[in-house]
Structure 1
C-alpha cells in the first residue's frame, strides 16, 4: 500500500471584477456565431485561447473552456450592482500535473491578458477538493467501517454483477462511499481505477506512473487490476465549511489553514480497522490507508504535483481522440460494408477501396472538405 498521487483535485473561486467593454463586445459577437453553429467556437483574445460554449448558465453570460488542462471560466454581463462578475473552476488535470502555484500564476496571467485587473482581496474561494490516490490492490471498501457522527449522512455505491446500483446491503463489491454533504464537508472513498477506465481519463496512468518512476518503481499496467488497483480518498470543502467554520476566503488564509481543514476532516470522519473485542466503534484504530491520508495534511499542500509535462498531457489526449475516432471509422466502414452486401472474405479489399471513394468525395467538393478540415483543426487545436 503506497501513495501514487496527492494534491488538489478541484478549486472553484469567484473574482470581484467585470469584463472590459471591448472584451464583452468581442465575446458577444463570437457567442452569436457559436449559437448559430450550435457548437463551441474557438476564441482568441490578448494572446489567450478558449473554446466559447454556445450558451451561458447560472447567471453567467459566457462559459469558456481552456483546453485539456481543464479550466472553465464563467463571465457575467458587466453590472455595476454585481461586482462579482467572474467565476472559474480549476480542474484536476491542471492541478495534478502542474500544481496549485502554477494554477494561480495561470489565473493572474490570463486575466492580465484579458485586460482584467484585480487584487488579492478580490478573490473568494468557494470550494476546494484535496485527494490522495493509494495503490492498494488488497483493500476492500466496507461502508460499516466508517466511524462518523450520528447526524452525518453516508451514501454507498455498490457494484453488483457488473451493474452500478445504490445499495443498502446487497451482495457485491462497494466502489464508493460518500460521507457528508456539500457545501459543507464531504469525504469520499472510491475506486479511482474504475472511474479512470469508465470515463476515459488515460492521463491518470501517466500521473501515477510519473510518481512511481520518481521513486524508481515499476509502472502500473492498466490491464492488470490485481496489481493496479488505485483507491482515491477525497476531502471536499465547500463554501460553508471554508467561510463559516474556518474563515477562509482569500489565498493567504487558504495557504495558512487548508492543511488544518484536511487534518480535521480525517479526524472527524475515520475509516477504521474493526476491533471484534471492542463494541465501542469510537475506539477502533484507523485503517492503515487512513493513516496514509492523515499524514499528507502535514505536508506543503500547495506545491504537490506529478511533474507530468504539459506536452505529455496534450499527447495523451490526442492519442485518445485518435483511438476513439479510428474505432468509429472502423465501425462505420464495417456497417457500410454490411449494407452494401460485402462478404467477410472481401471485407479487407472493401476497406482499401473505401479510401479511394473518400478521396473522390474530397475532390468532388474541395471547398466543403477544406472548411470541415479547418473546423476540426480549430476544435482540436489544444491537443495539436
Structure 2
C-alpha cells in the first residue's frame, strides 16, 4: 500500500458519527450521550467513552483555512524591469510610494518596498501575498503565494488556484503548483470547558504541548509548535471579536449557531515535509485526501484521552468523547456556508468607519456641549483640518493642505487595494538647462 493510500484511507475509529451537514443539524447541536429528536446521535456508550459524559457539540464549518502554493516558472524580463522600477518607487517618499501598484486582472496589488528571503519582489492585496523570484534558479519557485483565509471562505481551493494561475501567467511562464502548507480546520460550538483536562491528556507524537490564557480567560492549546505538523485548539469566537473577522460570525449563524455558545476551532497545520512523506504533492491530491489527513492527525499523531491512573500505558487510555466528535468530520460535504460576495481589499468596512466617526462626533459633542449632529460634524471637520495643517508642517512642506490630503488618500488607496493611483509624472532631466545652454552645447 502506498503512503498516499494510507493517508487517504481513514483509520478505524468508534462508529460515532457527528455529521457536520448543516441541513440535518438544524439550529442546535447534539448533546453527546443522547439521541437527538432530529436524528443526530451523540457518543454512544462504549468502552472508550463514559456514559455520563454529556455536553453540547455543534459542528459549524470545516475546510481549508490557510494555503501556501509554490509555482515553478520564470518571470518575463519585461516584468522584472517593471517590478524593479515599482520597488524603487516604493522605497521613496510616501507621496511617491503611493504609486507603487500593479494591476493584474481585477486585482490592484501593492508592490512592497522590500521582500523576504531570496525573493526579489512582494505583491499584496486582500486575496494574495505573492513573493516573486527574479532569477532562473531551479531551486527557487517563480512565485510563492499565500492565499487569504477570507478568500477561502468564499471559494474552494481548486477554483482559487485556477484563477491565481491565470494571474501569474501575466507575469511570465508558470507551471502547476506544489503545496507548501495547508491548514485544515473545524469550527464548532461547544459548552464543554476546554481547560477541563491536564496536559498529559494529550497523547501525541509531538514534544511541545502549551496552553494559553488572556487575563483570566482560557484561550486554547497548541501542540507541536514549530514542527512540520502542528495542532491548535483555540477560542475562535474570542479571536474573531479581537481581530474584526465579523464575517465568520455571520457564516456560523447561517450554520445554526445561536450566537451565544462559545465557538472553538481545531486546526491542523501540515507543512510540505509532512505532505511529501504522505505522497501528497499537488493541490488536487491534498484535496482528495483531506479525510485521510484529518484521520492521520486525529488518530495517529494526536489524541485527547481520559487519563487512567491504573494504566501507565497511555496508548490504552480511553478516547475523550469530544475527540470522538471532532475526529468524525464529514469531508465529503461542502463544509458549511460560504461568503456570498467578496472583494480583494484590505480596507475596513464603511460600517466600521461610520461607527467610529459617530463615536468621534459624540465625543466632540460631550466635550464642547454640542448636541446637534450637523454642528458636531462641522466642529469635527474644523479640528481635523487643524490637524491636517500641522501634519503638513504648517505650510512649510512645499505643498498645500489640499494636495497633502490627496497624498494621504493615495497612500491609503495603495494600502487598501481599492484602485490605481495616477501615475508619477515623467522624471525631469538630471540637470535642467535653458534653451541657450542646450543650443550652445549643440
Instruction: Name the TM-score class by shorter chain.
Output: 0.7 to 0.9
Correspondence 1:254 to 2:286: yes
Q: Residue deviations 1:192-212, cap 9 Å, x none?
A: 1111122222222123223x2
Change (3 A) 1:175 1:379: closer
What residue in structure 1 maps to residue 244 of structure 2? 200
Report the equivalent of 1:366: 402
**Given the two structures, how large is their TM-score scaled by the length of structure 2?**
0.67
User: Paired residue for 2:203?
Assistant: 148
Question: SS of the residue aligned with 1:139?
Answer: coil
Partner residue in 2 for 1:116: 173
1:258 deviation in Å? Answer: 3.8
**Greater alpha carbon shift after TM alignment, 199-208 vs 228-237:** 199-208
1:178-228 CA distance string (max 9 Å, x none):
112444221111111111122222222123223x2xxxx3652xxxxxx23
RMSD over aligned CA atoms reads: 3.5
Deviates more, 1:3-12 or 1:37-46: 37-46
Q: Which has the higher contact order (CA 8 A, sep 6+)?
A: 2
3-state SS of 1:56 partner: coil
- Which residue, out of 244, 267, 283, partners 2:316? 283
- Normalised to the residue count of structure 1, the TM-score between the two structures is 0.76
Q: Which runs of 5+ in 2 are unaligned?
A: 1-56, 390-399, 421-442
Instruction: Give the secondary-structure state (helix, strand or coil) at the position aligned to 1:24.
Output: helix
What is the distance in 2 between the residues matched to 1:16 and 1:312? 27
SS class of match (1:134): strand
Change in Cα spacing, 1:328 to 1:173, as seen in structure 2 (3 Å) is closer
1:322 counterpart = 2:366: no
Q: How many residues align?
A: 346
8 Å CA contact 1:47, 1:113 repeated in 2: no
Q: Residue 369 of structure 2 is aligned with which of 341, 345, 350?
A: 345
TM-aligned CA distance change 1:322 to 1:346, over 3 Å: closer
Q: CA deviation at 1:52?
A: 1.5
TM-aligned CA distance change 1:143 to 1:37, over 3 Å: farther
Q: For residues 302-341 of structure 1, give each alpha carbon's deviation from its aligned partner in whole angstroms, at most 9, with x where no partner exists.
A: x54632123488699424651576379559x85xx9xxxx
- Residue among 306, 309, 315 paired with 2:337: 306
Distance 1:312 1:236 in 2: 26
Instruction: Give the whole-Å Cα distance in 2 for the aligned partners of 1:322 and 1:175.
Output: 28
Out of 352, 377, 380, the position equivalent to 2:416 is 380
**1:27 and 1:353 mapped to 2: Cα distance?**
44
Alpha-carbon distance in structure 2 between the residues aligned to 1:146 and 1:185: 19
Once the two structures are TM-superposed, the CA of residue 8 in structure 1 deviates from its matched residue by 0.7
Structure showing greater Rg:
2
Residue in structure 2 matched with residue 127 of structure 1 by the alignment: 181
Among 100, 118, 137, which residue is 2:191 paired with? 137
Counterparts of 1:287 and 1:208, CA distance in 2:
25
3-state SS in 2 of match to 1:18 = strand
